[in-house]
Structure 1
Amino acid sequence: MADTSYDIIIIGAGMAGASLGAELAAHRNILLIEREEQPGYHSTGRSAALFSEIYGSKAVRALSRASKAFFENPPEGFAEAPLLNPRGTMFVATPLQAEALDGLKAQPDVAAHTRWISAKEAVSYCPVLKEDALIGALYEDGSADIDVHGLHQGYLKDIRRKGGDIQTGTTVSEIKKQSGNWRVTTGAGCYSAPVVVNAAGAWADEIGTLAGARSIGLKPKRRTAILVAPPPEHNPANWPMVMDIGEEFYFKPDAGHLLVSPCDETETSACDAQAEELDVAIAADRLMTATSINVRRIEHRWAGLRSFVADRTPVAGFDKDAEGFFWLAGQGGYGIQTAPALARFAAGLILTGEPDPALKVFGVIENALKPDRLWANV
């Protein structure tokens, strides 16, 4: 049987693959391949979903700023409800973390989007915090919860509306270059295209190996989250997200509960991550140490994968040694909030050889994202 031909094949239908597919589908004939029956099962569907212009590396913050307009004003018909719901973020610090707090607020783009508040003010925003344990906090008023499901489904619907194909529940077993095209063999059949995009999340290095590409050094890391009930005398609906300045924990309101994470980054293999009892216990303990909350019961627990390369910055660009093989990986915990801009960036490179020039205004720099940077000193 002859291969089914496309202009571009994207491997991975999580947020990275879906957002790029939506950018490309109006211009090229695309196929999106997903190993799971449900796109976004491993990471996209398990995100804490915060939009923040000051979270992550310099390159990540630039991508977040460049994504804001899309979140605030998505295309007509893209989503049935707003993609953002305002929620402040409070970066709290103890006296031992004063240096880290000063270092963060000294960065110009952070200073432009935050204000310093005292420990007393921090407690006024989140009354369960222990005031005597804090020296103060940085408060970001412009952050927001992201409707991850609405965003992801909007991209998938957009692909279909523009004529793109989505194949779920099939695993890629072989990727070979033949007569100028990439031949991708899956359990559902064989497909060919001159361009293959590797948006396989935690499995991206495995997909790269199948294509004969050099490893980008991707490290999947497990992160745990739990849901606990707030004290009965408090309604947390309007509390900000509270983030420890050293990223030892965070908590935020979630449908009447508190979503809590110990910000663990346990290196693991690419897998269906599950929460481990020790990490669940650490999450509860750190919440109780920072607040007056006494955790008596864990309502729900889960884990997801966050995949990083060495500099903790996403990888987006063609592999110089594997013509037509494009990396879109290593988004870490920032893949949701950066998806609109990163997809535009990647689509520009694929369609024209140049990223969208409008992204430079926000500080998005090609050299900071291209895969070549990872091999410069190898």
Structure 2
Amino acid sequence: MPDIIVIGGGMAGVSAAAALAADAEVLLLEAEPGTGQHSTARSAAIFIRNYGNAALRALNDRAAGFFEAPDIDVEAPLLTPRGELLLATGEELDLLEEYAAGSAGLERLSAVEAERMVPILKPGHFAGAVLEPEARDIDVDAMLQGFLRQFRARGGQLRCKAPVSALSREAGLWQIVAGGETHAAPVVVNAAGAWAGEIARMAGAQPIPIQPCRRSAAVLPAPEGHELGLWPLFGSIAETWYAKPMGGQLMVSPADADPVPPQDAWPDDMVLAEGLYRYEGAVTVPVTRMVSSWAGLRSFAPDKTPVCGFDSEAEGFFWLAGQGGHGIQTAPALAELTAALVAGRAASIDDGSLGALSPVRFA
């Protein structure tokens, strides 16, 4: 019998399971045929240290050490140079100032300097910009596979095609029916992503509303005559669109966050069209065709801060949910925190951030 059952085989669940397996017998349950098939596979795949609120930035700072020197088996660095360029029109300069005031390591650029960096920007459209030069691309698949290898090397067991259909606690153990099998363990970790709220309801845990929100993207051909390799991720400070070079093409997102039920997400054509229209208004190259499009889910707690800790009502029920769009880059820090809290060790994060992450805040 395992000591811990982790529900959810995305980046959060896999990384947490690997960390927990260092000290315990761990079973990882995933509903799909393989791991990382939902939000993990549809990430913008970039580490931005200044991304998110104070608690998220504390996690980013903690995760930075892992990304610089991963303790998992990977064949190449997980991070490669990219940079993030945030752009403001004259009416948006206050937003730019607000973002810069709470950030570190930024460089202020004039509109002309930004246009030199991304030469398809419409001359005169923007009034200012900030650059985070240390923002870097993440090799998400290499990271996920590295955590899976570590999990298995530590004796962890993985069951795919195992959606949870029943969850109850009896005689100090969680009884979980998943994929036609029944499993039992004293501790269950809810890392079910968009389905985290449903898992909590099954367990009779706190009714924390974890809301999945759709984020869409279109892949466009590279603008003719331009080499995208050195371009940063660039986008509106008002979060109405952003674009990122990917594999010699350009991924453009309307930066949508439309609430939807837990699902295998697909892009909404109208939302995508509106976002591409906003992007077109900022650049000199018209959108003539899409190579492909996709959508993923970003799941949020009401305060847009992840939920990490033991439930206040259901004994042995641990929350690891609500990462929003920060799940890949915070996964190493949240996995480390999960392992510490489950084992009863001191957390490697400040008390203020620990309280901000705890599910007790919703009790």
Same-fold call, TM cutoff 0.5: yes
Cα pair 2:193 2:321 within 8 Å, conserved = yes
Aligned to 1:32: 28
Match of 2:13 among 17, 37, 41: 17
Cα pair 1:8 1:31 within 8 Å, conserved = yes
Which structure 2 residue ranges, 5 or more long, are not aligned?
none
The offset of 1:374, in angstroms, is: 2.2
Match of 2:99 among 76, 79, 104: 104
Match of 1:274 among 266, 275, 288: 266
Aligned to 2:224: 232
Which structure 1 residue ranges, 5 or more long, are not aligned?
none
**Aligned partners of 1:215, 1:38: CA distance in 2, in Å?**
29
Aligned to 2:193: 201
Residues 171-210 of structure 1 mapped to structure 2, 5 A cutoff? 171-210=163-202
Amino acid at match of 1:374: F
Aligned to 2:278: 286
Match of 1:141 among 133, 138, 161: 133
Query: Cα deviations across residues 6-31 of structure 1 (Å, max 9, x unaligned)?
Result: 10000001011001011111110000
**Aligned partners of 1:171, 1:199: CA distance in 2, in Å?**
13
**Aligned partners of 1:34, 1:150: CA distance in 2, in Å?**
19
**Aligned partners of 1:202, 1:301: CA distance in 2, in Å?**
21
The TM-score, its normalising length taken from structure 1, stands at 0.94
Match of 2:57 among 56, 61, 82: 61
**Aligned partners of 1:243, 1:80: CA distance in 2, in Å?**
31
Cα pair 1:62 1:364 within 8 Å, conserved = no
Aligned to 1:90: 85
**Aligned partners of 1:320, 1:354: CA distance in 2, in Å?**
19
**Aligned partners of 1:243, 1:52: CA distance in 2, in Å?**
13
Match of 1:244 among 223, 229, 236: 236
Amino acid at match of 1:56: G
Aligned to 1:299: 291
The offset of 1:353, in angstroms, is: 4.8
State the Cα RMSD in Å. 1.2
The offset of 1:207, in angstroms, is: 0.3
Indicate the SS of the match to 2:302.
Answer: coil
Give % identity.
44
Cα pair 2:105 2:132 within 8 Å, conserved = yes
Aligned to 2:66: 70
Change (3 A) 1:308 1:169: same
Cα pair 2:54 2:353 within 8 Å, conserved = no
Instruction: Give the total of aligned pairs.
Output: 363
Query: Cα deviations across residues 173-199 of structure 1 (Å, max 9, x unaligned)?
Result: 111111111111112411111100000
1:320 aligns with 2:312: yes
Cα pair 1:230 1:293 within 8 Å, conserved = no
1:373 aligns with 2:335: no
**Aligned partners of 2:279, 2:95: CA distance in 1, in Å?**
20
Cα pair 2:206 2:312 within 8 Å, conserved = no
Aligned to 1:120: 112
**Aligned partners of 2:64, 2:34: CA distance in 1, in Å?**
27
Cα pair 2:83 2:233 within 8 Å, conserved = yes
The offset of 1:364, in angstroms, is: 6.7
The offset of 1:323, in angstroms, is: 0.7
Amino acid at match of 2:52: G
**Aligned partners of 1:269, 1:302: CA distance in 2, in Å?**
17
Indicate the SS of the match to 2:335.
Answer: helix
**Aligned partners of 2:79, 2:123: CA distance in 1, in Å?**
30
Q: State the 4+ residue runs in structure 1 displaced beyond 4 angstroms.
A: none
Query: Cα deviations across residues 138-188 of structure 1 (Å, max 9, x unaligned)?
Result: 110111000010111111111011100000011111111111111111124
The offset of 1:72, in angstroms, is: 1.3
Indicate the SS of the match to 1:36.
Answer: coil
